[in-house]
Amino acid sequence: MKYLKPLGLFHELLKSNVITSGRLLGVDIGDKYLGLAVSSDDNRIASPLCVLVRNKSNMDLIAGDLECLAAEFSLAGFVFGIPRCRDRNSVDGGHVKVFADELGKTGKLEDIKYTFWEECFTSKNIDFLLKPFSFSPVQSKTITDKLAAVQILQGYLDFVNKTKQKSKLVLQGDLVS
């Protein structure tokens, strides 16, 4: 696995023409679960995918599951949610970087590039939205984790697509001048 800055990941995908055939996986990393979301074929819309159980002893299993998902969905990159809100160097973000490093050490996801995307209060926002419904605690947690992953990935996709659109407008403006 190779880390790239947020725009770097998107530019890398554009250069290799993977953006039209490679999709992205949004990952919300919690203490017990990984919430996963996948982008549409054109990398504009994020949709919930599934939840994986997470503990320290099953990193190889998680890597294997992600490897299968990468093949099934033609994944070109991962977008890991990282909690950095008010304090840019939040201690909470450390576990996400450690997770990404451990995942890379398995050797199962060599061709996958990844980046981090800020995920302030995603789970809290989803919890708030689900409060009126009568889900069991387990149902609520799995829904929250999947939708938090959607929120992370959609935020990233909106940003890079908006940036890509602005770049096109600037280039068109330069050609007209």
pLDDT band at 85 (very low <50, low <70, confident <90, very high): low
pLDDT tens for 11-54 read 887 776 655 568 999 999 988 899 999 999 999 999 999 999 98
pLDDT band at 159 (very low <50, low <70, confident <90, very high): very high
**Cβ atoms within 10 A of the Cβ of 63, count?**
19
What is the CB-side half-sphere exposure of residue 159 using CA atoms within 13 A? 15
In this model, does residue 169 exceed pLDDT 60? Answer: no
Q: Taking the model in full, what pTM does it have?
A: 0.85
pLDDT greater at residue 71 or residue 123: 71
Considering only CA atoms, which of 5, 84, 9 is closest in space to residue 39? 9
**Structural tokens at position 157:** 């996709």
**Structural tokens at position 34:** 């990984």
pLDDT greater at residue 113 or residue 15: 113
In this model, does residue 174 exceed pLDDT 60? Answer: no
CB of 49 closer than 8 Å to CB of 23: no
In this model, does residue 176 exceed pLDDT 50? Answer: no
pLDDT tens for 52-77 read 998 878 899 999 999 999 999 999 99
Q: What is the Cα–Cα distance from 123 to 146, expressed in whole angstroms? A: 10
In this model, does residue 105 exceed pLDDT 90? Answer: yes
